[in-house]
Amino acid sequence: MKVFLIYAHPEQESFNGAMFGKAQETLLQAGHELRISDLYAMKFDPVSGKNNFTTLENPHFFKQQLEELHATSKGAFASHISTEQEKLEWCDLMIWQFPLWWFSVPGILKGWVDRVFAMGRVYGQGRIYETGVFRGKKALLSLTTGGMPDHYLKDGLNGDLGGILRPIQRGILEFTGFSVLDPHVVYGPARQSQEEREGELLRWQERLLTISAETGIEVGHYR
């Protein structure tokens, strides 16, 4: 299987960093092909704009979606944006590794989506949801939280996790055709013992060893 692994955390020695490392090690040892985007290490610029493109159809008034359509037809995406798009098109499974910040992904990851998920190439012209460009591909969110499990229940302090993740899983991933796998969540790793964190890494490893057999979930209903 071809796996595209995206990492969005500024500290390599963090628990997210350990999850990222464990995923690489496990997937390669299991015989999968792997491509990665370590966004902080890449110094990926999350600010979307004219620099997404090598040429503009209208240099006097910038409308991003129209420029994305133009770039799709003319091959006018900046090389580093095109490289990320090629990874999306190549993979069978895409995994995002990130900490939950302000009920969402870190800004660098959202900016990556803003720049890479371009109209014409990644969605649009009737190609959304069930007819999306990436139908047949799978996507998985692997994330850590600051709070504990009972904080993310329907009647918990923060509300149910499925509702928190819905804009990402439905509004980005399913929108472009991905089948979304059950999110992999580690609750409050900073509050865990070393033994507990090692147990979480083992749980992640064990899941990745059978990830090829997993099927999508109904988004919004976290299990």
Q: Is residue 74 in some structural domain?
A: yes
Cα 178 from Cα 191, distance rounded (Å):
33
Write down the pLDDT at residue 223: 43
pLDDT digits (tens, 9 = 90+) for 174-219: 999 999 999 999 999 999 999 999 999 999 999 999 999 999 988 8
pLDDT digits (tens, 9 = 90+) for 2-49: 999 999 999 999 999 999 999 999 999 999 999 999 999 999 999 999
E strand segments, 16-67: 33-38
At residue 221, does pLDDT exceed 90? no
H or E element in which residue 57 lies:
none
Across the strands, what pairs with 145?
187
Question: pLDDT digits over 122-133, tens only?
Answer: 999 999 999 999
**pLDDT score recorded for residue 218:** 80
CA atoms of 99 and 76, how far apart (whole Å):
33
Residue 222, pLDDT above cutoff 80 = no
Decide if 152 contacts 161 (C-beta within 8 A): yes
Count the neighbouring beta carbons within 10 Å of the beta carbon of residue 175. 16
Any domain includes 218: no
* Domain with 66 in it: 2-212
Residue 19 vs residues 98, 108, 142, 188: alpha-carbon distances, Å: 9, 18, 9, 14
Q: Is residue 190 part of a domain?
A: yes
Is residue 178 in some structural domain? yes
Residue 217 inside a domain? The answer is no
The sign one gets for the Cα dihedral 88, 18, 222, 40 is negative
Number of domains in the chain: 1
Per-residue pLDDT, averaged over 152-160, amounts to 90
> What does the CA dihedral 163, 138, 40, 104 come to, rounded to 10 degrees?
-10
| Whether residue 74 has pLDDT greater than 70 | yes
CATH at 144: 3.40.50.360
pLDDT at residue 135 is higher than 70: yes
* pLDDT score recorded for residue 158: 87
Average pLDDT estimate for 87-115:
98
Q: What is the pTM of this model?
A: 0.95
Q: How far apart are the first and last CA of the chain?
A: 25
Kindly state whether residue 208 falls inside one of the protein's structural domains.
yes
Residue 156 lies in a domain: yes
The answer as to whether 42 is a domain residue is yes
